[in-house]
Amino acid sequence: MGFLSSLSHTPDFALFRRGHNKRPRSSDEEERPAEPSEKQAGAKTMSSSSAWPPSTPTTGESPLTGGGKGGFLHISRFIPRRSNRVGQGSHDAAEDDDDQDSDVERQRHGIFSSADNVEFALGEVAALLPVTGAFVRHAEFLVDPAWGFAVGWNLVYGNLLSIPTELTAICVFFQYWTDAVHPSVYILVFIALTTAVGFAYVRVFGEVEFAFALLKIALVVFLVVFGLVVDLGGVSGVPALYFTYWADPGPFVEFVADGAWGRFLGYWSAMTGAVFSFAGVESIAMAGAETRNPRKAIPAACKNVFIRIVLFYMLSILIVGMLVASNNPDLDDSGSSVAKSPFVLAVAGAGIPAIPNLINAIVITSAWSASNQALLAGTRVLYGLALKRQAPRVFLRTTSWGVPWVCVLLFTLFMFLSFMTFSNDALTVFWWLVSLTSAGVLFSWISILMNHIRLRLAMQKQAIPVSRLPWHNAWTLYTSWIGLVLCIVILLTGGFAVFTKGRWNSMTFVSSYLDIPLVLGAYLIWKLIKGTRLVNLSQVPLHSAFEQAEQKYAALDS
Q: How confident is the model at residue 145 (pLDDT cuts 50, 70, 90)?
A: very high
Q: At what angle do helices 315-323 and 202-231 cross, to 10 degrees?
A: 40
End-to-end CA distance of the chain: 42
Domain locations in the chain as residue ranges: 13-19+51-214+241-343+367-557
Give the residue-averaged pLDDT of 161-168.
Answer: 87
Tell me the three state secondary structure of residue 136.
helix
**Integer Cα distance of 233 and 243 in angstroms:** 12
Nearest in space to 279 (alpha carbons), one of 365, 155, 376: 155
Task: List Cα–Cα distances, 508 to 78, 462, 491, 511, in angstroms.
Answer: 32, 46, 14, 5
Rounded Cα gap, residues 458 and 545, in angstroms? 12
Whether the ω angle into residue 183 lies within 30 degrees of 0, i.e. cis, is: no
Is the separation of the CB atoms in 457 and 475 below 8 Å?
no
Q: Is the pLDDT of residue 409 over 50?
A: yes
Q: What is the mean pLDDT of residues 92-120?
A: 53
- Residue 33 phi, psi (nearest 5): -70, 155
pLDDT in tens, 307-357: 776 677 778 778 888 888 877 777 765 544 444 666 677 777 777 778 778
**Partners of 68 in the β-ladder:** 291
Res. 258: pLDDT tops 50: yes
Q: pLDDT of 262-318, one tens digit each?
A: 888 888 888 877 787 777 777 666 655 556 777 888 888 777 777 776 677 778 778
93 close to 333: Cβ distance less than 8 angstroms: yes
Give the type of residue at 214: L
Nearest to 107 by CA among 281, 275, 255, 224: 275
User: Rounded to the nearest 10 degrees, how much is the dihedral formed by the CA atoms of 540, 542, 548, 552?
Assistant: 120
**Sign of the CA dihedral running 334, 338, 339, 340:** positive
Report the SS3 class of residue 68: strand
Residue 311 is given by DSSP the state I
Residue 215: pLDDT band by 50, 70, 90 thresholds? confident
User: In 87-100, which ranges are continuous DSSP H helix?
Assistant: none
Distance CA 484, CA 504 (A): 28
Each residue's pLDDT tens digit, 508-528: 899 899 999 999 999 999 999
Range ranked top by mean pLDDT from 52-56, 338-342, 400-404: 400-404
CA–CA distance, 341 with 356 (Å, rounded to integer):
9
Q: What is the pLDDT of residue 53?
A: 53
Specify the 3-state DSSP secondary structure of 291. strand
pLDDT score recorded for residue 448: 93
- Contact criterion met (CB below 8 Å) for 148 and 135: no
Radius of gyration, alpha carbons of the chain: 23
Q: What is the mean pLDDT of residues 449-470?
A: 92
Q: Confidence band (pLDDT; 50, 70, 90) for 556?
A: low
| CB 279, CB 443: distance < 8 Å | no
Half-sphere exposure of residue 97: CA atoms within 13 angstroms, side-chain side: 0
Residue 438 confidence (pLDDT) above 80:
yes
* 291 touches 66 (CB < 8 A): yes
> Which of 65-69, 195-199, 232-236, 303-307 shows the lowest mean pLDDT across its residues?
65-69
Q: Which residue has the higher pLDDT, 132 or 184?
A: 184
Report the CATH number of the 13-19+51-214+241-343+367-557 domain. Answer: 1.20.1740.10
**pLDDT value of position 557:** 59
**What is the pLDDT averaged over residues 471-492?**
91
Least confident of 4-13, 421-430, 447-456: 4-13
Half-sphere exposure of 211 (CA within 13 A, CB side): 6
487-510 pLDDT tens trace: 999 999 989 989 988 889 888 899
Q: How far apart are CA 443 and CA 286, in angstroms?
A: 17
Q: What is the pLDDT of residue 112?
A: 54
Residue 368: helix, strand or coil by DSSP? helix
* Res. 156: pLDDT tops 60: yes
Which of 173, 170, 217 shows the shortest CA–CA distance to 193? 170
Residue type for position 299: P
Report which residue type is found at 68. G
* pLDDT band at residue 532 using 50, 70 and 90 as cut-offs: very high
Dihedral in degrees, nearest 10, Cα atoms 401, 402, 407, 410: -10
What pLDDT score was predicted for residue 148? 93
For residues 534 and 9, the model is more confident at: 534
